[in-house]
Amino acid sequence: MRAVLALPFLAFATLALPASGLVGPAQAQAVAAAASDAAVHRLAERLSRLAEDGLDPRWYAVPAADLAAADPARFRAETLRAAQAALTDLLLGRAGPIRGRVDLRRDTAAVPLGAWMAELASASDPATVIDRAADLPPDARALKAELARLRALAAAGGWPRISGNTRGTLEPGTMDAARVPQLRARLASIDPGLVEGPAANNPLYDDRLLAAVRLYQAAEGLEPDGRVGPITWDVLNTPIESRINQLRVALDMRRAQPAQPTERRIEVNIPHFRLHLLEGQRVVQDMAVIVGRRDRQTPMLNVRLTSVTFNPSWGAPERNAREDLLPRFRRDPAAMQAAGYRLFQRIDGEVVQVDATQVDFSNYNRNHFPYFVRQDAGDRNALGRMRFNMPNNDDIFMHDTPDRHLFSRGQRAFSSGCIRLERPMELLSEALSGTAGWDRARADRVLAGRATTGATLARSIPVRLHYTTTIVEGGRVVMRTDIYGLDADYARAMERGTPQRIASAEGGNARGAAAR
């Protein structure tokens, strides 16, 4: 349980916890004299249902109902103590700081924790205070309804895991006695007819099953082509417990949310592979993006877009050169040079260009490759025709790409960490707005000229790269795969919790609330 060290309550008596950690009978009477025994029982019962809010009742040592008969004063004291700790988590968020998650936002100083605690202390029915606090996070009701649905499904056994060859692709129209019946059972929630009567064991991937697969793929943000490949198999086999934890994380991430910014800004949601350019709450642009692979993750960042480079060259990072480009040089060095790739080596302190066709690449591997690689500007350049610069220590930027076909994919974690843009020219038009001497016509001329040119923006734009797998659109919960495992990390942080230290209260607002 997260310990509450001191709780000043406006005009109410301050609750000081004894060394034992228990609230004594006198304190219990002073803190909640307005609450009847029945109301305290209702409070204990409500705390036992904190799982519906994404919390775990075991974190708060909620007393068992039989303690009320054996020791009523202790039951009251322990119930109130549990309620105070749970209320703190419901208002301020359970999880503490997580390394690298600069995208997580809380404004605990804006939460009037002292006033809430005072209300809990004086309420005739304190369970209603817990109810109201639990419904505060944005979209809480929709998220909790989906959490209840998945918990009920889990209690009934969850969904079946598909075994066998889940690395190979199952094509529509094929016969597969091992995988097709399992796929039917997995998608029976979409179409119960898939498992009715003889259909249950039908090994043919028929049109009815194809329709269910396409519906499932579309709902999961996958390419709805009906081909069941490794990505679709992995999503199908996501344990229901993982989805439940994603909803719990979504609820906790929304607690103590700061006011939404009103300025123009860019937000990139990594697991949804989307970029939004926003003016206040209005979406000005919405486009698909490609983000970092699992082994080369896009970091969470709060930065500013400051300039644009037209016709950029690309200095390949060392890891890309060793792991990605070396095998291609080994296969066809002449083709690599034709694609604009240049090889350089440092000799006697000088960097000199090397003819790739004269190098025996079989002598090198990913652990030994003494060359630098640069790709000339051009249509085949890995950065495309423009780079959007946002200074940061991770050398991450947004850019165009020649690989336009990848935007048709559902899951788009293909890059080495940078953000590839579906419609870079549209973002460019917005970014250059107000920059003297620059408009779309000039940008087109510069791009056509092929020379590397830069433009500094008159107004830099805040950019937030964030990781939010679960969103609510039109009242509907939309979940995406926890591609980097960051929701799983957050769920573990919720298990650990964060000790709260309430330093003082003025006007009902707790200040110095939490070291986060």
Q: In which element (H, E) is residue 86 found?
A: helix 72-92
**CA-to-CA separations, 86 to 96, 105, 133, 422, in angstroms, rounded:** 15, 20, 10, 44
Q: Dig out the tokens for 363 from the structure.
A: 């002598």
Task: Please tell me the distance from the alpha carbon of residue 509 to that of residue 203, in angstroms, as a whole number.
Answer: 64
Q: What is the pLDDT of residue 499?
A: 57
End-to-end Cα separation, the chain, in angstroms = 17
Structure tokens at 163: 């075994």
Catalytic residue ranges: 399, 418
Spatial distance between the Cα atoms of 146 and 140, rounded to a whole number of angstroms? 10
Residue 141 CA to residue 135 CA, distance in Å, equals 7
C-beta atoms surrounding 104 within 10 Å = 20
pLDDT in tens, the chain (516 residues): 344 433 332 222 333 333 333 444 444 444 455 689 999 999 999 999 999 999 999 999 999 999 989 999 999 999 999 999 999 999 999 998 899 999 999 999 999 999 999 999 999 999 999 999 999 999 999 999 999 999 999 999 999 999 999 999 999 999 999 999 999 999 998 999 999 999 999 999 999 999 999 999 999 999 999 999 999 999 999 999 999 999 999 999 999 999 989 999 999 999 999 999 999 999 999 999 999 999 999 999 999 999 999 999 999 999 999 999 999 999 999 999 999 999 999 988 889 999 999 999 999 999 999 999 999 999 899 999 999 999 999 999 999 999 999 999 999 999 999 999 999 999 999 999 999 999 989 999 999 999 999 999 999 999 999 999 999 999 999 999 999 999 999 999 999 997 543 322 233 333 333 333
Q: What is the DSSP string of 441-506?
A: HHHHHHHHH---EEEEEEEEEEEEEE---EEEETTEEEE---TTSHHHHHHHHHHH---B---EEE
User: What is the per-residue pLDDT for 498?
Assistant: 77
The one-letter amino acid code at 468 reads: T
pTM: 0.87
- pLDDT on residue 33: 59
Residue 135 main-chain phi, psi, to 5 deg: -95, 5
CA nearest to 251, candidates 94, 473, 483: 94
Cα–Cα distance measured from residue 447 to residue 438, given in angstroms and rounded to the nearest whole number: 13
